[in-house]
Amino acid sequence: MKIYLTMATEMINHVHIEVIRKGADLGDLTIGVYSDSILERLGRVPYMTESERMSVFRAISGVKDVVLEDDFHFTKNLQTIKPDIVIRGSKHTATDKKIQETISAWGGKILEIPFTKGVVVDEFFRKISKQGYLPEVRRRKLNYYFKNKPLIRIIEAHNGITGLIAEKTAITTNGRTKTFHGMWVSSLCDSTAKGKPDIELVDHSSRLATIQEILDVTTKPIILDGDSGGLTEHFVHNIKSIERAGVSAIIIEDKIGLKKNSLFGDVGQNQDDIKSFCEKITAGKKARSSQDFSIIARIESLILNKGQEDAIERAKAYIQAGADGIMIHSAKTSPNEIFEFCDEYVKFGNVPLVAVPSTYNTVTEDELEKRGVKVVIYANHLIRSAFPAMLKTARLILENGRSAEADELCMPIKEILTLIPE
Ligand code: SPV
Ligand code: MG
């Protein structure tokens, strides 16, 4: 008799062993170890690699064979193995029904053992997700994404509530759940939320307070907009505090002097020379204590009309200096100059490429991914969408001498009271 059992777990406990023993007692047991992509779709970041997980199951006595399971419905593996029995935690879900359909072709049956309800399993995952907010776990997540995701989707957060939106917003289409992978703490949005201009006026302690607010209520990685990084002598100290706080990566831009927001375009700002910006990157890399903390270099050549050649020369130099990623920015409404850069970058760029499609926002994630972009940042959209609604509400109250006319723009009081659970 051939038996098939799939395993998602990374921590084997007595409940799993009991089920494996039951399977092995029935016949030749093959274990299908869930692939990374299936685990991610279940909302988990794997700790071990696929082959490590497979080798653990291979070592358990009674297990005849171990295969990788990369399909929610197991169709390919089932058709190859043709098991008489598939062990499942239930036989009533849509997935179970699809499995039963496949194995009926040779008279196979589902054996229901409700092992996934094991207290220990639930407790383990509760503990793991509780640890999600710890700096190292958060950093590891971003690095895992760098290595394993075709595209990383980041949205800005500038306080606790926007952090929660970035953390929890999800849509499901055709069984696939789509979420944001992390948060961008933008200098523009952090400054705007404080009513200040985006000119490196909001100081490090204040930026750190914003970061802490977001870290308090989220588990996803934070990429910090580090502006120019300031003086190298200051940068090496600031790196330590943001790293300790739990930031996963910082992006610093190669501007000097009074920094203005890049979306103004070329408004007479100065670009650092390659050598001194490289020294800043290298000093930052030396100052960090975690290998998982990334320092990403942002190139402003296209913003400042210095041309593609300058941008490419800088990308090469910054990577040489130790940059863990490159961000290329543009204030054009068409993505063409970004595409041109990408086409050259993919020939040598061996670190993730970051794009911020704020002005060239008709471009899709798929198009950017095809050109070699790894990280897409939606850099200012939560504050930009909140502001018009707030302004309109304030005006409606003034115009009407009451608030009823603003109801449509406002979340019902009942909902706001329960929005954040106690
Ligand atoms: C920010 O969000 O603060 C940025 C990106 O630096 S941009 O505004 O496009 O310059
Ligand atoms: Mg900025």
Cβ–ligand 1 contact at 409 (below 6 Å): no
State the pLDDT at residue 27.
96
Alpha-carbon distance of 211 to 246, in angstroms, equals 9
pTM of the model: 0.80
Q: Which atom of ligand 1 is closest in space to residue 380's alpha carbon?
A: 2
Q: Which atom of ligand 1 is closest in space to residue 191's alpha carbon?
A: 3
Alpha-carbon distance of 410 to 412, in angstroms, equals 6
Q: Residue 160 in contact with residue 420, Cβ under 8 Å?
A: no
Cβ–ligand 1 contact at 248 (below 6 Å): no
Q: Which atom of ligand 1 is closest in space to residue 227's alpha carbon?
A: 6
What pLDDT, in 10s, does the model give residues 315-356? 999 999 999 999 999 999 999 999 999 999 999 999 999 999
Q: Residue 19 in contact with residue 5, Cβ under 8 Å?
A: yes
State the pLDDT at residue 166.
95
259: three-class secondary structure by DSSP: coil
State the pLDDT at residue 214.
96
Structure tokens at 215: 């870290």
Structure tokens at 265: 């375009």
State the pLDDT at residue 420.
82
- Burial class of residue 73 in the structure, from the number of CB atoms within 10 Å of its CB (0-12 exposed, 13-18 middle, 19+ buried): middle
Residue corresponding to tokens 């850069």: 341
Q: Residue 291 in contact with residue 246, Cβ under 8 Å?
A: no
| Ligand 1 centroid – CA 273 distance (Å) | 21
Our CA angle for 277, 152, 201, nearest 5°, is: 45
402: three-class secondary structure by DSSP: coil
Q: Whose CA is nearest to atom 7 of ligand 1?
A: 262
State the pLDDT at residue 120.
47
Q: Which residues of the chain have pLDDT under 50?
A: 118-121
User: What values do phi and psi take at 56, rounded to 5?
Assistant: -65, -45
State the pLDDT at residue 44.
72
State the pLDDT at residue 129.
56
State the pLDDT at residue 411.
93
First to last CA, the chain: 52
Q: Whose CA is nearest to atom 2 of ligand 1?
A: 186
Q: What DSSP assignment string belongs to 305-367?
A: T--HHHHHHHHHHHHHTT-SEEEE----SSSHHHHHHHHHHTTT--S-EEE--SSSTTS-HHH
Q: Whose CA is nearest to atom 5 of ligand 1?
A: 379
Could you tell me which residues are beta bridge partners of residue 299? 328
State the pLDDT at residue 43.
66
Q: Residue 143 in contact with residue 294, Cβ under 8 Å?
A: yes
| Ligand 1 centroid – CA 68 distance (Å) | 42
User: What values do phi and psi take at 83, rounded to 5?
Assistant: -70, 150
Residue corresponding to tokens 């200051």: 234
State the pLDDT at residue 418.
83
Question: Whose atoms come closest to the Cα of 380: which ligand?
Answer: 1
46: three-class secondary structure by DSSP: coil
368: three-class secondary structure by DSSP: helix
Alpha-carbon distance of 299 to 312, in angstroms, equals 9
| Ligand 2 centroid – CA 261 distance (Å) | 6
